Amino acid sequence: MVFSSLMFLFCFLPAVILLYFAVPCKFKNMVLFISSLIFYAWGEPVYVVLMLFSTAVDYTHGRLVDKYKRSGEDKKARGAVISSVIINLALLCFFKYADFAVSTVNGIFGASIPALDLPLPIGISFYTFQTMSYTIDVYRGQAKVQKNIVSFGAYVSLFPQLIAGPIVRYQTVAEALNSRKTTADKFSEGVVRFVTGLGKKVLIANNIGLVWDSVSASDFSSLTVLEAWLGILAFTFQLYFDFSGYSDMAIGLGKIFGFEFPENFRHPYMSRSVTEFWRRWHISLGVWFREYLYIPLGGNRCSKAKWLRNIAIVWLLTGLWHGAGWNFIIWGAWFGLLLMIEKLFLLKYLQKLPAAVGRAYTFLLVVFSWVLFSIDKMPDAFKFFGAMFGSNHCGFANSDAVYMLLTNAVLFAVAVLGATELPLNISKKLLGKLSAKPVVSETVKALFIAVVTLLSVAYLVDSSFNPFLYFRF
């Protein structure tokens, strides 16, 4: 439960920070490694063993790759990389996709193979991708081998971004793992970023998510058009503020400990094309697939047929990465098809259109995609699409729909504005004007931190709420 996880984090984090800055530099990675294992074990006590196994496997394979590369035995080095990838993917597939495979076989052949019903280890999709990047980067010569298993373990298990990203490639933090420094400015930036993410998650995502909870619990065939659109728009903003809020918290904590994690979101709902959207949404996942799958397949430096094949492979696997279900595969195929169309001819026309038109086009296509993403049974998804366009003959609105709109109008307005660049631009201008008055500037930051933290904690204490949506991936 995230309620307990966040409250645990509030109690746990100050002690970790105090201990981290109290110990000598050579013990800082040990503090992060042990505290990360404790944090993960608090929510997944059994699967800590799985994480330690992944750590040991990839640490060993990294050493083997380095050894064989230095001795000129490239075939053996390549074999070590392949072995690492196979083991990581085997773990991911077993825990995440075994029951999906069983249900698919049962459905096709009328078999009755019993499901394993294994609980999904939290964050396994994220940390298996991270550990695979390590051995590949060492093989490519893009990162030096990590000979300290504690430092490598800190990378694998690093609790700020362990559970829901961003996906941090080893080469991004390789240098910082061995030597890093936290300045007062970086610490302050980290605190502000963490609190910003906390506010996005707790104050916006959780509250607007209640609208989607209400709509998704209804009979889709009885929804009015307004109810259906309010529901999926609520999910659209809930997912963004939930996931980007977690990423902000992770990036902020990274800064506090001296790391620079990659940005994961850049106002994606402001995109003027689907192509641009995927350069702004879950950036670290897009980079991972590009660097470790799309480019090795040939990218766009091949025939048009192979190029389209490469896009199809990447997006089918992107959909499957998000979940073991046909809705996720169709969701990935949807975006793959849209990207193909844009790259083949549509993008050049979109670039000539007014920005508002491009943004409306992209936003609507993304909203349609979230129907597939959020509803795991395809018949129900089609019913929901029917409700959105009135084909269920329930009318445009009723008193319940109007009440839902009026009581949540301010929340929707805050979500819409918060998803744009406006808040960031305002804060930059304000702090720019106050830069000549450092006391006033720091007072404003302190007030922001205090108000958002107090409101968030009050909400956590007073309410039950939905978990981080990406925890299940």
Q: What is the pLDDT of residue 2?
A: 43
Q: Residue 352: phi, psi to the nearest 5?
A: -90, -15
Asked whether the predicted pLDDT for residue 471 surpasses 60, the reply is no
Asked whether the predicted pLDDT for residue 473 surpasses 60, the reply is no
Q: What is the pLDDT of residue 8?
A: 64
Both tokens of 283, joined, read 């950036």
In whole numbers, what is the pLDDT of the chain averaged over residues?
91
The full set of domain ranges for the chain reads 2-180, 186-272+353-472
Name the DSSP class of 421: S
Measured over the CA atoms of residue 381, residue 382, residue 387 and residue 389, the dihedral's sign is: positive
Catalytic residue among 61, 267, 282, 322: 322
Percentage of residues in the chain having pLDDT higher than 70: 95
At 108-124, the pLDDT tens digits run 888 888 988 888 888 88
Asked whether the predicted pLDDT for residue 340 surpasses 90, the reply is yes
Q: What is the pLDDT of residue 47?
A: 84
Q: What is the pLDDT of residue 470?
A: 60
Angle between helices 422-434 and 438-462 (to 10 degrees): 140
What is this structure's pTM? 0.93
Is residue 54 within 8 A of residue 144, CB to CB? The reply is: no
Angle between helices 399-418 and 206-216 (to 10 degrees): 150
Asked whether the predicted pLDDT for residue 463 surpasses 70, the reply is no
Name the DSSP class of 202: I
Q: What is the pLDDT of residue 235?
A: 97
The residue among 236 and 460 whose pLDDT is bigger is 236
Residue identified by tokens 């790391």 is: 259
Residue 49: which residues within 8 A CB-CB, separation 6 or more?
none
Both tokens of 213, joined, read 């909870």
Q: What is the pLDDT of residue 441?
A: 78
Residue identified by tokens 């240098």 is: 175
Whole-number Å distance between alpha carbons of 240 and 238:
6
At 343-352, the pLDDT tens digits run 999 999 999 9
Q: What is the pLDDT of residue 1?
A: 40
Asked whether the predicted pLDDT for residue 257 surpasses 70, the reply is yes
Asked whether the predicted pLDDT for residue 312 surpasses 80, the reply is yes
Measured over the CA atoms of residue 115, residue 117, residue 121 and residue 126, the dihedral's sign is: positive
Angle between helices 225-256 and 399-418 (to 10 degrees): 30
Average the pLDDT over each of 115-119, 138-142, 232-236, 310-314 and give the range with the smallest value: 115-119
Q: Residue 111: phi, psi to the nearest 5?
A: -80, 175
User: In the annotation, is 322 catalytic?
Assistant: yes
Asked whether the predicted pLDDT for residue 262 surpasses 70, the reply is yes
Asked whether the predicted pLDDT for residue 465 surpasses 60, the reply is no
Query: What average pLDDT does the segment 256-282 reach?
Result: 96
Asked whether the predicted pLDDT for residue 279 surpasses 50, the reply is yes
Asked whether the predicted pLDDT for residue 46 surpasses 60, the reply is yes
Q: What's the CA dihedral at 117, 121, 123, 129 to 10 degrees? A: -90
pLDDT band at 357 (very low <50, low <70, confident <90, very high): very high
Both tokens of 86, joined, read 């196979």
Query: What average pLDDT does the segment 5-21 reach?
Result: 80
Is residue 204 within 8 A of residue 288, CB to CB? The reply is: no
